[in-house]
Amino acid sequence: MATETFLPDNKPRCHWGFSDQMMLDYHDNEWGKPLYDSRALWEKLMLDGFQAGLSWRIILKKRAAFRLAFCSFEPQKVAQFTDEDIERLVGNADIIRSRSKINAVVKNARAYLAMQQAGEEFGEWIWAQVGGKPIQHIGPVPTKDALSERISKDLKKRGFTFVGPTIVYAWMEATGLINTHHPDCFRRAQVVGGA
């Protein structure tokens, strides 16, 4: 992921953070920043599910529409979606209109709430999987690993769908559970420091 490209601020970044201003802002301010809030973690996991087979840039462009369509990703509200709601979303051109992905979000809201009712807070649960602090990855970045495979299986046992190991790994990167910023990227040290 190394890059020799610099912006006027002269800061080295991961190679993908240069494609346009939207991706630059996402890279510099959001991606890889440790996220602890359960609802926000769940939202990111749902968006990573929608990204499957697509580019993250598409998801970012549609993120506001996703939030509107899915009630700001409030699991309590999404869990109550009916077949009529799903049909409405399948017809919503502002989001990704994949019936299987939309159904997964509704099912995953119910699984999230079931965890909560069983005394498992989603954020606490996922951070316990990495020992409570971000894993500092060095070297070639895989699309999945043994940890993402285990977490994927654990989520599926809890009733989640569309949470395969590749989706889970990308989610772990995005939410700072694992720091895969390139060693030369200025964000790597900031993420290590919790920023």
Confidence class for position 50, pLDDT limits 50, 70, 90 = very high
Range of the structural domain that residue 182 is part of = 32-191
Q: Which DSSP helix (H) or strand (E) runs through 48? A: helix 38-51
The number of folded domains in the chain is 1
Asked if residue 108 is part of any domain, the answer here is yes
pLDDT of 16: 84
pLDDT of 5: 53
Asked if residue 98 is part of any domain, the answer here is yes
Which carries the bigger pLDDT value, residue 194 or residue 119?
Answer: 119
Both structure tokens of 192? 């290590």
pLDDT of 191: 81
137 is in an annotated binding site: no
Residue 7 has pLDDT above 90, yes or no: no
Q: Where are the alpha helices (DSSP H) in 146-185?
A: 146-157, 165-174
For residues 32 and 175, give the distance between their C-alpha atoms in angstroms, rounded to a whole number.
Answer: 5
Residue count (the chain): 195
- CATH number for the domain including 86? 1.10.340.30
71 is in an annotated binding site: no
Asked if residue 152 is part of any domain, the answer here is yes
185 is in an annotated binding site: yes
pLDDT of 3: 45
Asked if residue 14 is part of any domain, the answer here is no
Asked if residue 19 is part of any domain, the answer here is no
9-45: pLDDT as tens digits: 888 889 887 778 899 999 999 999 999 999 999 999 9
Asked if residue 149 is part of any domain, the answer here is yes
Do 36 and 51 form a contact (C-beta atoms < 8 A)?
no
Do 141 and 120 form a contact (C-beta atoms < 8 A)?
no
181 is in an annotated binding site: yes
Residue 1 has pLDDT above 50, yes or no: no
Segment 107-120 shows an average pLDDT of: 98
Q: Which DSSP helix (H) or strand (E) runs through 100? A: helix 99-117
pTM of the model: 0.93
Asked if residue 25 is part of any domain, the answer here is no
Rg (CA), the chain: 17
Asked if residue 155 is part of any domain, the answer here is yes
158-190: pLDDT as tens digits: 999 999 999 999 999 999 999 999 999 999 988
